[in-house]
């Protein structure tokens, strides 16, 4: 039987993930929060799109009843819409709980964040390292992770996503809002992953693992100063100023290097092993960010 995958959240990551799964032969149903998004995606892609609120059991039950084939796997990659703790609780914690209840026979893969690692001393961290975030948003992510793992599902802790149309690092350099934050004059470590590599990792995890926790980052974290010192001359920009660390950031200030060894040793490899390789090798990345600041 062809696999039927429910992709919850079809934004920057989800739409690429759904399209990749569709190309590989799976039946895909994408779940989005707004009717306008559903209509746009349905017109642009060859996979089904439905509108529902992942935090409402009645919406999920209605969705489930309308499907003509069983869902064999659920991938939760919805975002909080830049909301705070209330949105995190609804979308991530309650969303995962309701998805498990509505689709109990479909393994659940949840995309979390490496922000749950709260280390501040620049150390290397892997899946066995402490993940004890100080902010409520981070603690809600951890609760959602535990719920998924306790049910035998998979958690993918993603680094900072970037790709065509989105690169906070490059956009901030170009628009003059970048800063080198704390840690003397080096700034914090950047742990990133190209959007296509994130999508490929999730597809790989869905097809090759039976649950567990995995970091999804590239091979080469670097400090903000290292990154901006390389980028600035390329774009004829000034090196951003050094500023004190801001402990009141939404997810807190952290300084750590996240390891992808477990995922690599399991068989996955990134197409862009570093941010620098993507800047050089992705022909759409730089032009798309330049267009945003012109």
Residues 146, 110: contact at Cβ < 8 Å? Answer: no
Which pLDDT score, from 0 to 100, does residue 251 have? 66
Is residue 163 helix, strand or coil? Answer: strand
Write out pLDDT tens, residues 219-274: 999 999 999 999 999 999 999 999 998 877 766 789 999 999 999 999 999 999 99
Which of 107, 157, 108 lies closest to 128, judged by CA? 157
Helix or strand holding residue 145 (H, E) = helix 136-150
Which pLDDT score, from 0 to 100, does residue 276 have? 98
Lowest-pLDDT choice from 94-103, 204-213, 276-285: 204-213
Write out pLDDT tens, residues 96-151: 999 999 999 999 999 999 999 999 999 999 999 999 999 999 999 999 999 999 99
Calculate the CA 120 to chain-centre distance: 21
Which pLDDT score, from 0 to 100, does residue 29 have? 96
Strand order in the sheet with 27-32: 48-51, 27-32, 4-8, 73-76, 108-113, 154-158, 212-216
Phi, psi of 181 (to 5 degrees): -100, 110
Residue 1 pLDDT more than 90? no
The number of beta carbons lying within 10 Å of the beta carbon of residue 157 is 25
Write out pLDDT tens, residues 33-67: 888 777 788 878 889 999 999 999 999 999 999 99
Task: Tell me if the domain spanning 4-163+192-219+255-272 has CATH number 3.40.50.720.
Answer: yes
Strand partners, 155: 110, 213
Strand partners, 166: 163
Which pLDDT score, from 0 to 100, does residue 192 have? 98
Q: Give the C-alpha separation, 217 to 222, whole Å.
A: 12
State the DSSP code for 11.
S
Write out pLDDT tens, residues 172-196: 999 999 999 998 889 999 999 999 9
Positive or negative: CA dihedral 120, 242, 249, 112: negative
Q: Give the C-alpha separation, 35 to 12, whole Å.
A: 17
Q: Give the C-alpha separation, 169 to 30, whole Å.
A: 29
Domain regions of the chain by residue span = 4-163+192-219+255-272
Residues 120, 255: contact at Cβ < 8 Å? Answer: yes
The residues near 165 (Cβ < 8 Å, ≥ 6 apart) are: 12, 288, 289, 292
pTM, two decimal places? 0.96
State the DSSP code for 126.
-
Which pLDDT score, from 0 to 100, does residue 294 have? 81
Which pLDDT score, from 0 to 100, does residue 183 have? 85
């Amino acid at each position: 039987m062809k696999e039927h995958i429910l992709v919850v959240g079809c934004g920057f990551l989800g739409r690429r993930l759904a399209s990749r799964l569709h190309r590989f032969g799976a039946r895909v149903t994408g779940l989005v929060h707004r009717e306008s998004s559903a209509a746009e995606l349905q017109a642009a892609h060859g996979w089904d799109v439905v509108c529902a609120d992942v935090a409402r059991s009645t919406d999920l039950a209605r969705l489930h009843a309308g499907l003509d084939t069983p869902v064999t796997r659920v991938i939760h990659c919805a975002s909080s819409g830049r909301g705070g703790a209330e949105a995190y609780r609804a979308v991530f914690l309650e969303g995962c709980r309701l998805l498990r209840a509505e689709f109990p026979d479909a393994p659940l893969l949840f995309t979390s964040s490496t922000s749950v690692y709260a280390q501040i001393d620049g150390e290397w961290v892997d899946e066995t390292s402490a993940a004890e975030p100080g902010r409520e948003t981070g603690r809600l992510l951890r609760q959602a992770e535990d719920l998924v793992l306790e049910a035998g599902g998979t958690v993918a802790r993603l680094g900072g996503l970037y790709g065509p149309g989105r690169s906070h690092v490059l956009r901030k350099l170009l628009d003059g809002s970048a800063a080198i934050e704390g840690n003397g004059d080096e700034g914090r470590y950047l742990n990133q992953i190209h959007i296509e590599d994130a999508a490929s990792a999730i597809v790989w995890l869905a097809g090759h693992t039976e649950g567990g926790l995995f970091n999804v980052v590239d091979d080469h974290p670097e400090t903000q100063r290292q990154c901006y010192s390389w980028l600035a001359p390329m774009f004829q920009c000034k090196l951003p100023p050094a500023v004190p660390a801001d402990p009141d950031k939404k997810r807190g200030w952290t300084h750590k290097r996240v390891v992808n060894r477990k995922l690599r040793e399991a068989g996955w490899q990134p197409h862009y092993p570093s941010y620098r390789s993507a800047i050089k090798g992705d022909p759409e990345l730089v032009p798309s960010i330049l267009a945003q600041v012109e």
